[in-house]
Amino acid sequence: MHIFHFMNIHLDIEQLKSGGRLINHGGGWMAALIGRMLRDTDFTFTCASFGKTRRMLTSHDERIVSIVIPERGGLLACQELVKKYDPDLIHIHGTEGAYGLLSARGLLECPVVISLQGLLGPCSEWYHYFGDRSLMEIVRMHRWLEIPAMRGQWRGFIKIRKAAMREKEIISGNRFFMGRTDWDRAYLQSQNPSANYFHERRLLREAFMKKLWDINKIKRHRVIFTNAGHPRKGTEVVLDAIKVLKPIFPDIQICIAGSISHKNGYGRYLHKCLARLEGSAMELGRLNAEEMIKEMLLSHVFVSPSFIDNSPNAVCEAQIIGMPVISSYTGGVPSLIENKRTGLFFPTGDAPMLASRIREVFENDSLAVILGKQARIDAQRRHEPSAVINDIVKIYEDVLRLAS
């Protein structure tokens, strides 16, 4: 079987074959999937994505082709590639890009299945996009030229609103979808009641499955989270919770994995917020799998404070190494966490309640250990590599059967 993957992030052949080990951005799980399928199946693959290039860039290996498509080439270039490589099935990762329009507009004859990742419709809602920040705080997120020049977070909000309209066409115009949570299934069915929904399990980077969190080897009162560079990720909620806890735990530390810009208005706004914590905040920068694991193993608790999310990989990675996780109750996260058994929830945007949950973990080692232990058991079952690959192959076969 030959599978054509359309991806939102370009991955070269070495990255795809590495299983995501060296990747320090959100594409690691896709590399893990392709790498494992190369090992466990005899399939061949074409992996393509748009990129900032003037001409099409192609690299080959024995069973895989990696392609960067010039953005100006648009859907026509994608259509021509599909004709050239003549796949048995097309797997589109996410509704964020334009790829799903190929099948929605009848430009392809080949069967198509779309994996639901983040959903732009909910993410484009004002409250989800900007979180609980006031209008004045939103203004402060911008440099003085960014608002009149339609740049910064305001421009991002306008862009995601437009992309959400495109997503609506993609969801209503396609037949086959793969998802991971009750929330993404409910959202799909509300937009396209006749769609075929297949439950998939996501493959995590292999390195996370080999390590185990140990409360006796952590740095006490160290909190870690990822993806601070966007308001919907709830960075300000965590920082407000740390302010509440600092008088009780003077040595508390918040460690942020991922990059925060020093140039745009929101990055500068966040750096001012971090400075107010007077040395309690640490930026870790972009981390590959091994670096992220090292930081997690040193930390007391992992926090996911997003205002909207589907199934954040970082939560799953924290669970599979067996560390306690605290998350906002939002989107698809309740499909990953059972409150007080495999993690703790707090109401979205509620910094005092988040502070209370963190304090519970800090003051109760037995709770921290049992949460992590039970989360690891569930995560190992949910992300077991051979089972994930078997499920996806079965979905491919079902799509081909139903499409014939």
The answer to whether the CB of 123 falls within 8 A of the CB of 332 is no
C-beta atoms surrounding 168 within 10 Å: 16
CA dist 368 and 361 (Å) reads 5
Is 213's pLDDT higher than 90?
yes
Asked if residue 340 and residue 227 are part of one domain, the reply reads yes
| Greater model confidence, 182 or 287 | 182
Domain coverage including residue 13? 2-203+384-403
Asked if residue 151 and residue 260 are part of one domain, the reply reads no
Domain containing residue 333: CATH number: 3.40.50.2000
Least confident stretch, 8-12, 100-104, 279-283, 357-361: 8-12
Q: What is the pLDDT of residues 76-93, one digit of tens each?
A: 999 999 999 999 999 999
Q: What is the pLDDT of residues 246-262, one digit of tens each?
A: 999 999 999 999 888 88
The answer to whether the CB of 200 falls within 8 A of the CB of 30 is no
Burial class of residue 26 (count of CB atoms within 10 Å of its CB; 0-12, 13-18, 19+): middle
Asked if residue 378 and residue 278 are part of one domain, the reply reads yes
Work out the average pLDDT over 143-164: 87
Which of 54, 41, 7, 52 has the alpha carbon at shortest distance from 26? 7
Residue 352 confidence class, pLDDT cut points 50, 70, 90: very high
Q: What is the pLDDT of residues 216-250, one digit of tens each?
A: 999 999 999 998 888 899 999 999 999 999 999 99
User: CB under 8 Å, gap of 24 or more: what pairs does 249-254 form?
Assistant: 249/221, 249/362, 251/220, 251/221, 252/221, 252/222, 252/223, 252/280, 253/219, 253/221, 253/222, 253/223, 253/280, 253/281, 253/282, 254/223, 254/224, 254/225, 254/280, 254/281, 254/282
Residues in contact with 79: Cβ distance below 8 Å, sequence separation at least 6, in sequence order: 102, 107, 108
3-state secondary structure the chain: CEEEEECCCCCCHHHHHHCCCCCCCCCHHHHHHHHHHHHHCCCEEEEEEEECCCCCEEEECCCEEEEEEEHHHHHHHHHHHHHHHCCCEEEEECCCCCCCHHHHCCCCCCCEEEECCCCHHHHCCHHHHHCCCCHHHHHHCCCCCCCCCCCHHHHHHHHHHHHHHHHHHHHHHCCEEEECCHHHHHHHHHHCCCCEEEECCCCCCHHHHHCCCCHHHCCCCEEEEECCCCHHHCHHHHHHHHHHHCCCCCCCEEEEEECCCCCCHHHHHHHHHHHCCCCCEEEEECCCHHHHHHHHHHCCEEEECCCCCCCCHHHHHHHHCCCCEEEECCCCHHHCCCECCCEEEECCCCHHHHHHHHHHHHHCHHHHHHHHHHHHHHHHHHCCHHHHHHHHHHHHHHHHHHHC
Work out the average pLDDT over 349-357: 97
Asked if residue 237 and residue 359 are part of one domain, the reply reads yes
Identify the pLDDT of residue 10. 80
CA dist 376 and 326 (Å) reads 14
Residue 308 confidence class, pLDDT cut points 50, 70, 90: very high
Work out the average pLDDT over 373-402: 95
Give me the number of domains the chain comprises. Answer: 2
Asked if residue 176 and residue 231 are part of one domain, the reply reads no
Identify the pLDDT of residue 36. 87
Which residue shows structure tokens 């590399």? Answer: 31
| Greater model confidence, 63 or 169 | 169
Asked if residue 165 and residue 264 are part of one domain, the reply reads no
Mean pLDDT is highest, among 6-15, 125-134, 395-404, for 395-404
Asked if residue 297 and residue 260 are part of one domain, the reply reads yes
Structure-block tokens of residue 130: 């900007």
Asked if residue 273 and residue 164 are part of one domain, the reply reads no
Asked if residue 181 and residue 167 are part of one domain, the reply reads yes
Query: In Å, what is the CA distance from 87 to each residue of 109, 251, 299?
Result: 10, 56, 45
Asked if residue 358 and residue 213 are part of one domain, the reply reads yes
CA 24 to mean position of chain CA atoms = 13
Asked if residue 220 and residue 168 are part of one domain, the reply reads no
Least confident stretch, 132-141, 143-152, 355-364: 143-152
CA 100 to mean position of chain CA atoms = 19
Residue 60 confidence class, pLDDT cut points 50, 70, 90: confident
Over the chain, what is the mean pLDDT? 91
Identify the pLDDT of residue 167. 96
Residue 43 confidence class, pLDDT cut points 50, 70, 90: very high
Asked if residue 367 and residue 261 are part of one domain, the reply reads yes
Is 270's pLDDT higher than 60?
yes
CA dist 202 and 29 (Å) reads 8
Identify the pLDDT of residue 144. 80
Amino acid symbol at 7: M
